Amino acid sequence: MTQSNTLDFAAFAKRAEAGERLTVTFFGGSLTWGAQATDPLKTSYRALIGKKMQERYPEAHFTFVDAAIGGTGSQLGAFRLQRDVLAHEPDLVFLDFTVNDGASKIPEDDRLSSYESIIRRMVSAGIPVVQMLLAVKVDVEKVTDRPLDALHREIGEAYGLPVGDAVAVMRAAVNSGEVTPEELWDLPYDSTHPGDAGYALYAKAAWGAYSSAVEEKRICQVPEAMVHTDRYMRIDRFPLCTLENLPEGWSRGVPRRDAIAFDFICSRWMDDLAIASSKEGKAPQPLMLSFVGESILLFGEGTQRSGSFEIRIDEGEPQEYPTVCAGGSMRYLQIVAMDLKPDVAHTISILPKLKGDEELRLESVCIAGGQVLVDG
């Protein structure tokens, strides 16, 4: 099929009706994974959409891909897109990063750039995308200010995306007396992740957006100019284990296969790690890289044995960050800097600050607006 046809929601539906093999991917955070659902494989919004797809198109052969990591937003998502989404060659994607990108906060240019880059790269690859706006409990208890929603809608409109507005769907259900916020978020200690009733309304919003797009014969498109900066169209997820010579005290290893939650199992999201540890009481040496770029973040793994590290960009003040996860193992993400001078060579120094048998477990240095140049 031509790209214009693959971007046509009605064409996707026809392929499903014809019994083709189709891949549907769900990309986002813990609300996409289904945290606090009684069974995320059955009662999360993505599971419910999968069930609806199979019921609506019984002749189709679907593969459903879960590409959701809790507590992460579109900045990391831009660096995960190739490995965790595009590599599966999806025919349809449901995208959400509104809550983890700070729906109720003052929007950041960096996050708007990362979010748009994800959409642009998917649509450029011929993938129709359903844009999701998901709610937390406070959004339906009262009318909250969510300035990011309008900006995400503006981006989605530029690319012709349908919007699954779960905020509006849930507010309508609460205002009509159909359900209460306490029934949607049925765990008193968690006002972010809903229970099954809440996920059912997420799915209602998602399916409504998809169905309307099919009926309208909506076709996604790539605008000539981006709505926001193109910073995240030029990215480098640099795996530290690929360095020819790791500093003294560093070695290559693999991520753990246990975690405090399924979406945090790091072996699902990364292949190899650079691991720093003290040997015979000797502290590991700093790892240094040169790069050009505007934003930089680190991606790795935190465990109960993880220690801290100190980062210095150029000649700036060092900043120390802990990586320990007291409850078990999980993904580690640290946004180090945004709005660095572009097209200027920078250096980053990563100095482990470890005690006893502590470790530092890093997968990659991620650069937006440039790339890693050389290892120092």
pLDDT tens for 263-313 read: 999 999 999 999 999 987 899 999 999 999 999 999 999 999 999 999 999
Which pair of tokens denotes residue 124?
Answer: 């450029």
**Beta strand residue intervals within the chain, DSSP E:** 21-28, 61-68, 92-95, 129-133, 163-165, 235-239, 250-253, 273-277, 287-292, 295-302, 308-313, 319-322, 330-337, 346-353, 359-368, 371-375
* 362 close to 247: Cβ distance less than 8 angstroms: no
Model confidence pLDDT, tens digit, residues 72-91: 999 999 999 999 999 999 99
pLDDT recorded at residue 6: 80
Q: What CATH number belongs to 3-215?
A: 3.40.50.1110
Nearest-CA neighbor of 31 among 154, 177, 193? Answer: 193
For helices 196-215 and 166-175, give the axis angle rounded to 10 degrees. Answer: 120
Domain ranges (residues) in the chain? 3-215, 234-375
Count Cβ atoms below 10 Å from residue 203 Cβ, excluding itself. Answer: 23
CATH T-level fold of 234-375? Jelly Rolls (2.60.120)
Cα distance between residue 53 and residue 18, in whole Å: 13
String of DSSP letters for 36-52: T-S-HHHHSHHHHHHHH
Residue 5 has what pLDDT? 54
Is the separation of the CB atoms in 348 and 311 below 8 Å?
A: yes
pLDDT of residue 1: 43
Tens digit of pLDDT at every position of the chain (376 positions): 444 458 999 999 999 999 999 999 999 999 999 999 999 999 999 999 999 999 999 999 999 999 999 999 999 999 999 999 999 999 999 999 999 999 999 889 999 999 999 999 999 999 999 999 999 999 999 888 899 999 999 999 999 999 999 999 999 999 999 999 999 999 999 999 999 999 999 999 999 999 999 999 999 999 999 999 999 999 999 999 999 999 999 999 999 999 999 999 999 999 999 999 998 789 999 999 999 999 999 999 999 999 999 999 999 999 999 999 999 999 999 999 999 999 899 999 999 999 999 999 999 999 999 999 964 4
pLDDT the model gives residue 2:
44
Looking at residue 309, its pLDDT comes to 97
Distance (Å, rounded) from C-alpha 299 to C-alpha 238?
Answer: 10
